[in-house]
Structure 1
Amino acid sequence: MDARVEKILNLPAYQRMLIVLVVMVLIGVGFYFLVYQGQLEEHEKLVKKKVSVEKTLKKNQKIANNLELYKKEYEKLQAKLEEALGELPLKKEIPSLLTNIGALAKEKGLEILRFKPKGEVPKGFYAEVPVELKLRGSYHQAASFFAAVGNMERIVNIQNLKLGGAKTVAGRTALSIDCSAITYRFVENPPPKPSKKKGGKK
């Protein structure tokens, strides 16, 4: 028998128990660091991953549950956009639209002193089409003309309105009416925005 083993066996019982206890503790510590700690870290990773996956699933489920609502909202917005674009004439419709504005002025009894289309003002997917107007007529005739313009199928705004130069014509007071009638046309293929040049001046 090995002398060291024999020496241990000859020790008092409490000392032998103490040695066995120390050995068991060492084995337990070794097991913790070599096996259990690695498993614990792996378990924590799996728990975190599980929580992350659950959050993603809940988020996707919420989107899926509201998908029909989002679809209906999109369809409403699309319909509103098409309706708004429908109020913007194409380029080929502009001449007839301007003719209609002039015809309305005459229909309401106004005398057209100046009817001058100005250059278009690009605004991206649409462009402003201003017309400079100088009319003569009564206040009632002017108000009736502006109301008729506002009720046109296409959008036409009256801006820069100036009234003055009242004169008596054929026994009636006639005003000089200066204004701008601005309509808008849909730009089918808007030009791309110019790219900013990199770097400064040399």
Structure 2
Amino acid sequence: MAEKQPVPREQKIALAILGLIGLYMLYSNFFAPMGGKITAAEKKLSDKESELLEMRPRAAEINVLQEELKLYEELLAETEDKLPVSEELPQFIRSITALAARYDMDLRVLNMLGVEQGEYYNSHVYGMRLVSDYHNLARFFAELGQMERIMNVKNLSMEPFVDGENEYDNLLEANFQLVAFTFKK
């Protein structure tokens, strides 16, 4: 068999230099960029963890806010029942005339005086004149205040009822403004 010849020293040095160059190329092209990517990924991960820590209390607040929203929606529905979105004039007139008839009142005048625009609601003002005795007038106002819809009586004036030249001792003529409210959306 052929005897192995020793590798010359220059070749060993050249191989060592090539090996070092290969290791340097491997490190500079693979490991060094990977270290930068790892550092960037670690920074991104820590940023996401800090965002998560900030969002956890907000996530807990969402349930509370959803409950509050549900409560406010119920309150809005209840308010819309008491403050309708539309004027509903025919129903309003029927309910007022039926209420006056229930207390044996003579509804002389019911006319629209105008609409006052508000920030959240509109006020519909009606002029009314009724003839009735004092107790029925009081019952009328009491029931008016108990109605589902929110209404207000203002500028009330009462005088003894005079029909021609006859003055009736037990009858009053009541002039007032009835204000009905509608919700503004």
TM range (shorter): 0.5 to 0.7
- Check the 8 A contact 1:94/1:185 in 2, yes or no: no
Taking the aligned partners of 1:113 and 1:174, their CA distance within structure 2 comes to 14
Residue number among 136, 144, 152 corresponding to 1:141 in the alignment: 136
- Given the two structures, how large is their TM-score scaled by the length of structure 1? 0.57
Taking the aligned partners of 2:150 and 2:87, their CA distance within structure 1 comes to 16
- Check the 8 A contact 2:131/2:161 in 1, yes or no: no
Find the counterpart in structure 1 of residue 177 from structure 2.
180
- Check the 8 A contact 2:87/2:182 in 1, yes or no: no
Counterpart residue identity of residue 112, structure 2? P
Q: SS of the counterpart of 1:66?
A: helix
Q: Percent identity?
A: 24
Which ranges in structure 1 are unaligned for 5 or more consecutive residues?
1-45, 189-202
Find the counterpart in structure 1 of residue 95 from structure 2.
100
Question: Aligned pair in 2 of structure 1 residues 139, 59: CA closer, same or farther (>3 Å)?
Answer: farther
Q: SS of the counterpart of 1:153?
A: coil
Which ranges in structure 2 are unaligned for 5 or more consecutive residues?
1-42
Cα deviation for residue 176 of structure 1 reads 2.2
Taking the aligned partners of 2:109 and 2:102, their CA distance within structure 1 comes to 16
Root-mean-square deviation over aligned CA pairs:
2.7
Taking the aligned partners of 2:80 and 2:148, their CA distance within structure 1 comes to 12
Question: Aligned pair in 2 of structure 1 residues 94, 185: CA closer, same or farther (>3 Å)?
Answer: farther
2:61 pairs with 1:72: no
**Structure 2 counterparts to residues 41-120 of structure 1, below 5 A:** 54=50, 57-91=52-86, 93-120=88-115
Cα deviation for residue 163 of structure 1 reads 2.4
Question: Aligned pair in 2 of structure 1 residues 173, 59: CA closer, same or farther (>3 Å)?
Answer: farther
Question: Aligned pair in 2 of structure 1 residues 92, 175: CA closer, same or farther (>3 Å)?
Answer: closer
Counterpart residue identity of residue 93, structure 1? E
Question: Aligned pair in 2 of structure 1 residues 163, 59: CA closer, same or farther (>3 Å)?
Answer: farther
- Given the two structures, how large is their TM-score scaled by the length of structure 2? 0.61
